Amino acid sequence: CLWVGADGLHCDDLIRCYDLDTHLRQVHGVHGSDKDRMLCRWRSCNKELNKENFVRHIEEIHMGIVHTCTACGATFSRKDTLIKHR
């Protein structure tokens, strides 16, 4: 995890993509309603976005996660786009 804490240091916990949401809530206190505006502190990104988009933003922009269609091999940066493709 490359979340920058109040001390200016990266968290450096080893996380898996499916644990990202839980990690952000439990370790970094990312709470609130989906429409709450939050500041991304991943590598000091400092982009402000709705909480509902937080995990997707980190996966796409910071972790470079790609979702691949098992039927045709097409790749998508967003999981919801892959689901629509299927």
CATH at 59: 3.30.160
**In-domain check, residue 7:** no
Rounded Cα distance, 42 and 25, in Å: 14
Q: Per the domain annotation, does 53 fall within a domain?
A: yes
Is 2 a domain residue? no
- Give a yes or no: residue 50 inside a domain: yes
For the whole model, what pTM was predicted? Answer: 0.79
Q: Give the chain's domain count.
A: 1
**Residue 12 included in any domain:** no
What are 4-60's pLDDT values in tens digits? 998 999 999 998 877 899 999 999 999 999 999 999 999 989 999 999 998 989 988
Give the Cα separation of 82 and 27 in Å (integer): 30
Tell me whether residue 45 is in a domain: yes
- Structural domain contains residue 11: no
Q: How far apart are CA 37 and CA 49, in angstroms?
A: 5
Residue 26 structural domain? 17-85
Tens of pLDDT, residue by residue over 68-79, are 999 999 998 888
